[in-house]
Amino acid sequence: MRVRVIKPKHIGVSSLRMGAFYTVASVELGNTTTKCILMSTNMKSGELFQIAKEVRLTRTVRPPKTNETVFGSTIVGVGLTHESVVEFISDILSHVIKKARITLDELHFVVRSTGVTAGFQHPEEVGAIVKALADGCLAAGIPTKKMTASLSPDDLPLGIRDFSFLRKVHFDGAIASSLPPADTGIVANEMEGELVTAGIKGAAKSTSIDFRNPVMTLDFGTTLAGRVTDDGHPYAKTIGSFAGLAGAIPDAIMRGTGLVDESRGCVLDIKRVLGHKDLRPDESLLDEIMQLIHVMPVPSGTKRFGMVPVDTKAASESGVILIGVDAGTNGSALADLMKIGAGIYENEGMPLLMATIDHVQAEVVQQLLLAADETGLILENTSLGLTGRAITTGMKPELIYNDLVLLNNTRWIDTHQILFVEDGLAMGAAVAARCMNSLGTPHNPMGGRKGDHCIMAERMKLQSHK
């Protein structure tokens, strides 16, 4: 069976100007890629569209100058300063706006996020990079009011005000009817988990799948992000969160081949490889690799798991089960994965190497599902959504859909729903901007539980008692 990866539909500027569209820029500084994607929502239908997209390798950010302070680094050691990030973000955002041929007035909101957390010591330190992202947007000409929630519909553009419910409700922190953990410092990339969850919910609007609470979402960028929500009403609670390594694992396998830079190279440096669809690596080879990869609930007292800062005490106090992925201890086995990749490429060639990567990533998903199931996170009608470069490419969706033991044993395909989404985080930025400004489509709700109605009345009742 061929599994479809949902991609955002495209829309041109001329069509954009003919209807009621709310346009948002997603600016994401990641360990491997930095993306700026312009998304717009048709406020009558709630459907998401992509206007323009720019992707750059984060390793191309300029080196720190002698008078600048490095406040963090990417997972492969690219040093970041406030000034270099501001310049990098300002340039990519300005370039995308120019490429899209829209004016700053036509750009209604900007959402910033980062997956660059492995070089930090504590989750709280992400504030430094978030400020640099904001300053980069300001340098590109984006006013502060387009990066913060509106208090009144009068603060919104004229053509958008009629779609806002700010006179009835206010933004109380829930994105797509899911509340963040009581302590948002559980994992350093908490915002990524929030945005991809919202984005997959938004992407589902172009399908027949009702992807509302309860859900489990996984974002396989270089590092892992995602959430599990319960079926609370009107707002679901976050009951699970994910951290650790994701795309960094296949990147390490690829760096052993010598075809990419051995310190900063990644799978994205390799052009598409054909001919590995029907290949399957020996079980002994998969076992050897999986012996180096650990998928488990993060032990109490752990400060860093899979190189990502975590706070297990905050997770426990917030009632959140934290599940992580690591290679060795905080990436100590990445060098061993490089050696294995070198052997596969030398003895078997690139097609089998790519097939091995696909099977390893599918196995990691299986183990994540098993860990979530064993800890009671998966409810009877929990849907599964996956996004990110290291899980939506190659044969990974097909392997996950067809072959995973957990899916077969629990009849997930019959009783649960699965979505693979490209650029889930960017879609989530568009959804988050709408939520922050109470721009809803009650006839086609994104919030609430599967099969349920719009939660607007419940929100009004809840907020009237506060």
Is residue 406 packed enough to be buried (19+ CB in 10 Å), middle (13-18) or exposed (0-12)?
A: middle
How far, in Å, CA of 310 to CA of 188, rounded? Answer: 6
In a domain, 388, yes or no: yes
pLDDT over 80 at 272, yes or no: no
Confidence (pLDDT) at 1: 44
**Per-residue pLDDT at 323:** 98
Residue 408 lies in a domain: yes
**Could you tell me the pTM of the whole model?**
0.94
112, 130 contact by CB (below 8 A): yes
Q: What is the DSSP letter of 132?
A: H
Comparing CA positions, the residue from 54, 117, 115 lying closest to residue 90 is 54
- Please report the DSSP string for 48-95 in residue order: EEEEEEEEEEGGGSPPPPTT--EEEE-TT--EEEHHHHHHHHHHHHHH
Range of the domain at 376: 190-424
Tell me, yes or no, whether 199 lies in a domain: yes
Q: Is residue 103 part of a domain?
A: no
Q: Quick: pLDDT tens for 315-343.
A: 999 999 999 999 999 999 999 999 999 99
- Name the nearest CA neighbour of 182 among 378, 379, 311, 320: 320
- Is position 164 within any domain? no
**Predicted confidence band of residue 275 (pLDDT cuts 50, 70, 90):** low
Q: Is 209 within a domain?
A: yes
Distance separating alpha carbons of residues 425 and 444, to the nearest angstrom: 21
> Peptide bond preceding 214: is omega within 30 degrees of 0, i.e. cis?
yes
pLDDT of 411 above 70: no
| β-sheet bridge partners, residue 128 | none
Question: Total structural domains in the chain?
Answer: 1
Distance between alpha carbon 343 and the CA centroid of its chain, in Å?
32
Residue 346 within any structural domain of the chain: yes
Residue 227 in domain: yes
Strand partners, 6: 421
Residue 377 is part of a domain; what is its CATH number? 3.30.420
Confidence of residue 2 (pLDDT cuts 50, 70, 90): low
